[in-house]
Amino acid sequence: MAVRFIDKLLGTTRQNNSLLCIGLDPDLDLLPKVKALDFNKAIIDATVDLVCAYKPNLAFYQVLSSKGISLLESTIKYIPEGIPIICDAKYGDIGNTAKVYAEAIFSTLGFDAVTINPYLGLDSIEPFINYRDRGVFVLCRTSNPGAADFQSLSCATNLALYEVVAQKAKEWNIYGNIGLVVGATYPEELRQIRQLCPEMPLLIPGIGAQGGDLTLAVSYGVDAQGEKAIINVSRQVLYASQKEDFAEAARHQAKQLRDQINSCLASRSEVK
C-alpha cells in the first residue's frame, strides 16, 4: 500500500526536525556556471537533511521544452524516496482534462502532491482528490500582490472569497488529502484560515524574496501540534551564491531558516 502524503510529510518533518520546503526552480538567468541537473543535485545533496519537502515549479522545466521534462524526471528520481515532492503547477480545468493532468502528475511523473486552482469548482479538483494517497493543495490566499483582486472580494454569504474556498476545501476533504496554499504575506488571513481548517496541511509561500514575516507564518500556520505548515522558500536558498560555493551557501541559508523556524516554534510553545 502506498504511503499517504500526509504521513510521508509528517515523517520527514519529524526526522529532519523541519518545516522548511525548498522550491527547486532552476532559473537559467540566475544559475551559476553549472548544468541545471548538476545544480539541482547539488542543492538536494546540500539540504536533504534540512527539509520537510521539495517543490519544483513546473514552469521552470516546461520552458526548457523536452530537455526540461527530462531534467524534471531526473530531479524527481534523485530526491530520496522518503522526502515528499510537491508539484507547483496550479492546475485548474474541466473534469475530463483534469483527469489527464492528475494522471500525468501522479502516475507518470510520480509527484506526491500538487497545487490546484479551485476556480472551476469540485469537478475540476475531484480527479486529483481521487488519488487518495497524494496531496492536493488548493489555492486559497496566495502570496502575490494581485491576490486581493479576487480573493478578498465579499461573496453573497458575507465571507471573503478565500474564506469560501477554505470552507469548500474542508467539505471536499473526505479522504483527508486536501491542503491549502496560503501566503505568508497575508498573516491575518493565514491565522483565520488555520482557525477554519485546524487539521489541514498549509503550504505557505512568500517568505524571503516576497517579504513575508517568518515568525507570524510559523505562529499562525502550524496546527495544534506545531506541524502541518510547509514553509516554502526558493530564491533565498537556491541563489544565496552564484559562484562555485553555491551549494555551501544554499545549505547555510537553509539551515539558518530551518533553525529560525524552530526557534519560532519554541517561542510559540513557551507562550502557550
Of the candidates 11, 27, 12, 91, the residue with the CA atom closest to the CA atom of residue 239 = 27
* CATH architecture group of domain 5-267: Alpha-Beta Barrel (3.20)
CA 168 – CA 139 distance, rounded (Å): 12
Helix spans in 85-212 (H): 95-102, 122-129, 148-151, 161-172, 187-196
For the annotated catalytic residues, the residue numbers are 90
Three cell numbers at 168?
Answer: 469548500
Tens of pLDDT along the chain (272 residues) come to 578 999 999 999 999 999 999 999 999 999 999 999 999 999 999 999 999 999 999 999 999 999 999 999 999 999 999 999 999 999 999 999 999 999 999 999 999 999 999 999 999 999 999 999 999 999 998 887 777 777 777 877 888 888 999 999 999 999 999 999 999 988 999 999 999 999 999 999 988 767 789 999 999 999 999 999 999 999 999 999 999 999 999 999 999 999 999 999 988 755 44
- Sequence spans of domains, the chain: 5-267
Q: State the residue for C-alpha cell 479522504.
A: 175
